[in-house]
Amino acid sequence: MPREHRYFVYLLTNWNNKVMYVGMTNDLLRRVHEHRTHVVKGFTEKYNVYKLVYFEETPEVHVALAREKEIKKWRREKKNALVIQVNPEWRDLGEDLDLPCHSDQREES
């Protein structure tokens, strides 16, 4: 029986939704946890980007990579509209996935 593949394109933001990060992964829970615990060095650590506000899933890796690149090229207004379509309150969707809350939620970067 062939293995089912799952790939996710996701958007993270900081506590006040001013900084946004677009990423792609094959394990959304693991990857968001890595961002929240600062295992991932770089942009998300520097700007304290941890709040999962949007994600979409596909079984095709090339589709996920193309979608990530597409969204990264968008202006901020278009990214905001994408989030608002499914998450108008900009809630942390990681809480719905039983991810622990981030300890520095109110920390500005």
Q: Quickly state the pLDDT bin for 106 (edges 50, 70, 90).
A: very low
Give pLDDT tens digits for 33-64. Answer: 999 999 988 999 999 999 999 999 999 999 99
Average pLDDT of the chain, as a whole number: 89
Residue with tokens 């900009």: 90
Task: Single out the residue of 99, 80, 108 nearest to residue 31, CA to CA.
Answer: 99
- Residue 22 bridge partners (DSSP): 11
Strand partners, 23: 10
- Residue whose pair of structure tokens reads 């991810």 in the numeric block: 99
Give all domains of the chain, ordered by start, each with its CATH number.
7-86 (3.40.1440.10)
Each residue's pLDDT tens digit, 67-79: 999 999 999 999 9
